[in-house]
């Protein structure tokens, strides 16, 4: 594949399981109807590797080696780090200049590999340490840093950052998170092949911060569910999840311009017998935001052109009204209309959260909200948004899952609640 064009000798000789795994994912059989994971006959014993972008489009990278590692570059040359040491890589004249400290400076015309010699070795980048192989790639006249790691080890750096650090009483929710995160990652192997990696290490995909603050409960949950993924008919499911659904999960097609899925159709987040929502104790279950008339006009004058791809110097005119034009059955706003002296702007689905940007948050917590407008002499003087939940609301509600675990539900029951009709399958 193109992204391996410049790989060094040792890396080229490494087993590359990716294509086998992609083939297996493509050939998943009909999902089992029971909640007990089904193991595929002849399933592989090993997890695939996943390539995580830790930095992209930078001109310089600083790495610290903790333990022993080998650097492979420059026509097959190998440099060893018997002691902790540092490495600075700089993009210079179409090459990677490597400052190796006491070992001098060399230039690489292609990909640079930094490979730990033993399991205890780590490479530090920024404030975090990572297991596995580091690759420095040249892409678009800049450097990309990729951490290639076994998918199960990757999950150890994802699960606690996505669902938090919890006691063993809530382990079933952490197991459900591990399965959802594994399924999400598996489904995205190869998604950015032309860029040289599979996933970003932030909320674009899943937050991954290496070995920093690994958690015993999360590690146990990952091990207990090793290789288990969510499937539906011939495919891995789209295992989306978010913090707090506000009492009702969302239909995927109401949030993003994506096709509907039977297991992402939105449902009450409460026991079948009724009662309080599972996520009712979340601090984001109910909230409010407010703007003065001038404040909301100022906010919309910036966010509307950004989100509607209008020319950067566009003026939206004088703000006259903000109203909800359509909702879905969960109570989320599907279409928000902003009327100004120039025109009526329509904003759909999750993008509404970027348009109604609060003063002290990057985006509105959710689209599940009611609008209250206050006018004086016909002029808009105050806008209040009273809302529920935090996040897009599609798939598993993490706060709800934690409450279900506290009440004694097993991970299979939690996943059946949030991804109805999906099955559990053990891939390795």
Give the number of residues in contact with Zn ion, rule: CB under 5 A: 5
Contact 198, 48 (CB under 8 A): no
For Zn ion, the closer CB: 279 or 347: 279
224 CB-near residues (< 8 Å, 6+ apart): 175
Q: Is 152 in the site for Zn ion (CB under 5 A)?
A: no
- Name which of residues 252 to 311 contact Zn ion (CB under 5 A): 269, 279
For Zn ion, the closer CB: 157 or 387: 387
Tokens of 339: 């009327």
Minimum Å gap between C-beta 423 and Zn ion is: 22
Tokens of 289: 């935001």
Minimum Å gap between C-beta 415 and Zn ion is: 14
Q: What is the DSSP letter of 220?
A: H
Minimum Å gap between C-beta 17 and Zn ion is: 37
**Cα 222 to chain centroid, rounded:** 17
Minimum Å gap between C-beta 394 and Zn ion is: 12
For Zn ion, the closer CB: 73 or 416: 416
Q: Among 158, 160, 163, 155, which Cα is nearest to 226's?
A: 155
Minimum Å gap between C-beta 279 and Zn ion is: 3
- Rounded to 10 deg, the angle between the 171-187 and 18-26 helix axes is 100
- Name which of residues 394 to 413 contact Zn ion (CB under 5 A): 397, 400
Contact 211, 130 (CB under 8 A): yes
Minimum Å gap between C-beta 245 and Zn ion is: 3
- Name which of residues 200 to 239 contact Zn ion (CB under 5 A): none
| C-alpha atoms less than 13 angstroms from C-alpha of 348 in its C-beta half-sphere | 7
For Zn ion, the closer CB: 227 or 388: 388
Binding mask 103-132 for Zn ion (x = CB under 5 A): ------------------------------
For Zn ion, the closer CB: 148 or 269: 269
Task: Point out which span in 42-50, 67-75, 245-253, 355-363 binds Zn ion (CB under 5 A).
Answer: 245-253
| C-alpha atoms less than 13 angstroms from C-alpha of 91 in its C-beta half-sphere | 18
Minimum Å gap between C-beta 254 and Zn ion is: 16
For Zn ion, the closer CB: 75 or 408: 408
- In sequence order, what are the beta bridge partners of 384? 290, 372
Tokens of 89: 């890589």
Report the distance separating Cα 109 and Cα 209, nearest Å.
Answer: 29
Q: Among 304, 336, 344, which Cα is nearest to 320's?
A: 344
Minimum Å gap between C-beta 227 and Zn ion is: 28
For Zn ion, the closer CB: 180 or 279: 279
For Zn ion, the closer CB: 279 or 336: 279
In residues, how long is the chain?
428
Backbone angles phi and psi of 228, in degrees to 5 = -85, 130
Q: Could you list the residues that contact Zn ion (CB under 5 A)?
A: 245, 269, 279, 397, 400
């Amino acid at each position: 594949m193109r992204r391996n064009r410049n790989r060094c000798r040792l890396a080229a000789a490494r087993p590359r399981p990716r294509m086998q795994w992609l083939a297996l994912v493509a050939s998943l059989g009909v999902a089992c109807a029971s909640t007990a994971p089904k193991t595929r006959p002849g399933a592989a014993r090993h997890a695939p590797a996943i390539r995580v972008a830790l930095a992209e489009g930078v001109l310089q990278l600083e790495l610290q080696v903790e333990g022993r590692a080998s650097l492979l570059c420059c026509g097959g040359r190998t440099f060893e780090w018997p002691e902790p040491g540092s490495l600075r890589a700089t993009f210079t004249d179409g090459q990677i200049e490597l400052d190796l400290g006491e070992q001098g400076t060399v230039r690489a015309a292609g990909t640079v590999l930094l490979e730990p010699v033993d399991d205890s070795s780590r490479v530090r980048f920024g404030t975090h340490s990572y297991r596995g192989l580091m690759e420095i790639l040249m892409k678009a006249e800049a450097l990309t840093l990729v951490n290639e790691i076994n998918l199960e080890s990757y999950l150890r750096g994802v699960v606690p950052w996505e669902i938090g650090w919890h006691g063993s009483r809530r382990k079933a929710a952490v197991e459900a998170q591990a399965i959802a995160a594994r399924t999400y990652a598996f489904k995205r192997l190869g998604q950015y092949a032309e860029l040289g990696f599979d996933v970003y290490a932030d909320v674009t995909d899943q937050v991954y911060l290496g070995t920093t603050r690994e958690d015993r409960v999360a590690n146990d949950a990952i091990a207990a569910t090793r290789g288990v993924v969510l499937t539906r008919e011939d495919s891995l499911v789209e295992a989306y999840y978010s913090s707090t659904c506000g009492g009702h999960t969302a239909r995927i097609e109401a949030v993003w311009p994506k096709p509907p899925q039977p297991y992402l159709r939105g449902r009450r987040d409460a026991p079948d017998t009724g009662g309080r929502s599972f996520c009712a104790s979340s601090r984001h279950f109910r909230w409010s935001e407010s703007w003065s008339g001038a404040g909301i006009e100022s906010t919309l004058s910036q966010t509307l052109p950004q989100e509607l791809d209008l020319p950067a110097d566009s003026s939206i005119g004088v703000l006259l009204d903000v109203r909800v034009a359509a909702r879905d059955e969960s109570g989320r706003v599907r279409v928000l209309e902003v009327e100004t002296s120039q025109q009526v702007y329509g904003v759909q689905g999750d993008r509404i959260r970027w348009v109604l940007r609060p003063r002290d948050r990057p985006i509105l917590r959710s689209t599940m909200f009611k609008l209250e407008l206050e006018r004086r002499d016909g002029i808009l003087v105050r806008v209040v948004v009273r809302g529920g939940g935090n996040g897009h609301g599609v798939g598993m509600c993490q706060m709800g899952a934690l409450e279900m675990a506290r009440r004694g539900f097993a991970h299979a029951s939690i996943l059946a609640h949030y991804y109805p009709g999906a099955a559990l399958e053990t891939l390795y």
